[in-house]
Structure 1
Amino acid sequence: MFFQDPKLQYEVTVEQPDPHFAKLLQQAIGGQEGEMRVALQYMFQAWALPEEYEAYRNLLMETAAEELGHIEMLATAVTKNLRDSPKEMGDDAQETAAAASMTGQNPRQFLSAGESAVPVDSNGAPFTGNYIVASGNLAGDLYANVMSEAAGRTLATRLWEYTDDPGMKDMLSYLIARDTMYQNQWLEALESLDDPVPVPASFPQDEENQEVNYTFISTRREEQPNPDHPWTEGEAPDGKGQFSYAADQPGDGNVVAPDPDPMTSDDPNRTDQ
């Protein structure tokens, strides 16, 4: 169940409306690094958890709800950058194509949404649920969440560097700070799990190929010596194995495909074609 409050999570002000920046902000809404992705990702992850993981379910749902608030903030920012702008589409730019070229804005923001935000990325591509990672494995999902927040923070910092508008910098500074918290909370949640790696930890490791499960295998054509990196020697992070190094691939098996069914063959020598 959801409730809504008619106020923003954080104040959004725009001192110098910029339709082009509104187009860039769309990436933070409907792009692969955007807030729609993480809000839905955390929800679907939470909905998959059984009762004994109630604390993690709550953590995910609390964060998902906050991310919905971020979508609202960004949509508000897009609208404020599009409207009351000296570059907005008006009497001097009735032709849509000419207006879009002049302002650099996404034409759909004007044509489909009346100068407001749309659920697309900065190129106008619609948001897709294919961005969402919700595997049903808590550890795997938490690792995916760290990556998602790292990508989101990177995007937000690039937007912060791009704009000179004080209000937009202030809003983005808030979102960047929340990304700092999210990365740390997901890492802390991972630390609280008994066996976060390898994922899934429930699989019996004695069923793995024991010759390669902790071996870094070089793919170089010419044999290379062990570079003595932390991932080629020493104890693995899961504490269950020792890293080793192999200079070449196992190299076995036949890549030639077996003969196809005669009914599907394009053999020119077939007599029944």
Structure 2
Amino acid sequence: MYLHVQRLINEIVPDEPDPAAANALQEGLGGQFGEMRTMMQYLFQSINFRGPAGKPYRDLLQGIGTEEISHVELIGTTIARLLDGSPRYQGSPTDPLDTPGAGGATPLAIALDQSNIHHYLVAAQGALPVDAAGNPWSGSYVYNSGNLVLDLLYNLMLESTGRLQKCRIYEMTANKTARSTIAYLIVRDQAHENAYARALETLGVDWGKVLPIPKTNAEQFPEVKKLLDLGLQSKQYTFDLAAQSEAGKIYQGMSPSQDGTVLDASEQAPEGVPSTIAAERFEEFAPGLDPDLLALIQATADLEMADVQPLYGPVAPAPGATT
């Protein structure tokens, strides 16, 4: 069972729209080594896990898989913000459809010669479940052999390759919005590398000889170094409200990264940052809230909302109710 907190796991720094950077980030979302892949792979491995004695390993997979859901949200939101409005479009909310953008520019002309035209044709300036070449994400990417050592080895390779690709994407753009998210994911990929490497060590696997981790020198990136200085590469969250996770039995001791840090699995989840909904895009007719629809929304908002208890489990019946 999963619960959603309406906060982003990391801050997205504001900057100008950059459709080309948005398309590069699509590889980190829907590519073979992207966040959709890691999310699905780890969750399926945890769902299909066998052997009660291996619960700490199942809990580690489940915790990282749950975090990857938030990474899909983060990178998808970043793509949408990088696409949010043509840089030349200054349409008027009172006359958004028939008047071209500032200086006579056509509002969506940018879609014809930059990035991925599907971002504008079918996604209304939002993210898509595809890679940077427009190929749809495929469930065939998911590796789940059922053998713990094989799965952990494959996961270590997956995180390592994903971090390598994100370092390349970082070097493709100077956009602050893109780099803020890329840097965070680079560091969290390293944390997950540490998790799977440490898990393999507890199983007697000398992974360093079997699978050398590529050296990316990502600490040269200012945004990455800031996070590394906070020790974010050596933390793993449980995302477990009931405090039943045993992942901390594995994620402990000196970091396999050999950077002098100690692995820490004591936190339930990061604090996160406020999540905001983007403004309407009139040139995309999205979401297309005309005055009648806005009136309906306001009428619904004026209704008294039922009180929701901030907990999970059985909810006490209302006074006077029968069961």
Q: TM-score range by the shorter chain?
A: 0.5 to 0.7
Name the counterpart of 1:158.
168
| 1:71 counterpart = 2:81 | no
Given that 2:80 and 2:125 are in contact with CA atoms closer than 8 Å, whether structure 1 keeps it comes out as yes
Structure 2 contact 19–115 (Cα < 8 Å) conserved:
yes
Output the CA distance in 2 between the equivalents of 1:176 and 1:89: 35
Alignment identity in percent? 36
Q: List structure 1 segments (4+ residues) > 4 angstroms apart after TM superposition.
A: 87-90, 194-197
Change (3 A) 1:109 1:187: same
Q: Is the 8 A contact 1:30 1:36 kept in 2?
A: yes
Change over 3 Å in CA distance of 1:114–1:150 after alignment to 2: same
In structure 2, the residue matched to 1:62 is: 63
Deviations 1:74-133 (A, max 9, x none): 111111111134156984347x7x64333x121211111111001111111110011111
Q: 2:156 aligns with which of 141, 146, 157?
A: 146
8 Å Cα contact 1:106-1:124 kept in structure 2: yes
Equivalent in 77, 98, 112 of residue 101 of structure 1:
112
Aligned to 1:125: 135
Q: Give the deviation of 1:196 after TM superposition.
A: 8.2
After TM superposition, list the pairs within 5 Å mapping 1:1-273 onto structure 2: 1-50=1-50, 51-86=52-87, 91=100, 92-93=105-106, 99-102=110-113, 104-194=114-204
Cα deviation 1:194-252 (Å, max 9, x = unaligned) = 5789xxxxxxxxxxxxxxxxxxxxxxxxxxxxxxxxxxxxxxxxxxxxxxxxxxxxxxx
Q: Secondary structure at the match of 2:171?
A: helix
Contact 2:29 2:131 in 1 (8 A): yes
Change (3 A) 1:45 1:196: farther
Report the CA distance between 1:147 and its aligned residue: 0.8
Secondary structure of 1:121's match? Answer: coil
Structure 1 CA distance for aligned equivalents of residues 151 and 88 of structure 2? 43
CA contact (8 A) 1:15 1:167 kept: yes
The answer (yes or no) to whether the contact 1:38–1:64 under 8 Å persists in 2 is yes
Q: Which has the larger radius of gyration?
A: 1
Asked if 1 retains the 8 angstrom alpha-carbon contact of 2:85 and 2:125, the reply is no
Please tell me the root mean square deviation across aligned C-alpha atoms, in Å: 2.1
Cα pair 1:14 1:165 within 8 Å, conserved: no
Deviations 1:156-200 (A, max 9, x none): 111111111233222211111111111111011011115789xxx
Structure 2 CA distance for partners of 1:88 and 1:44, relative to 1, 3 Å: farther
Measure, in 1, the Cα distance between the counterparts of 2:203 and 2:110. 54
Question: What is the TM-score with the length of structure 2 in the denominator?
Answer: 0.56
The AA in structure 1 aligned to 2:127 is A
Partner-residue secondary structure (3-state), 1:162: coil
Amino acid of the residue matched to residue 8 of structure 2? L
Count of residue pairs the alignment pairs up:
194
Higher normalized contact order (CA 8 Å, seq sep 6+, divided by chain length) = 2
Pick closer, same or farther for the CA change 1:83–1:57 going to 2, 3 Å.
same
Query: Please, which moves more after superposition, 10-19 or 36-45?
Result: 10-19
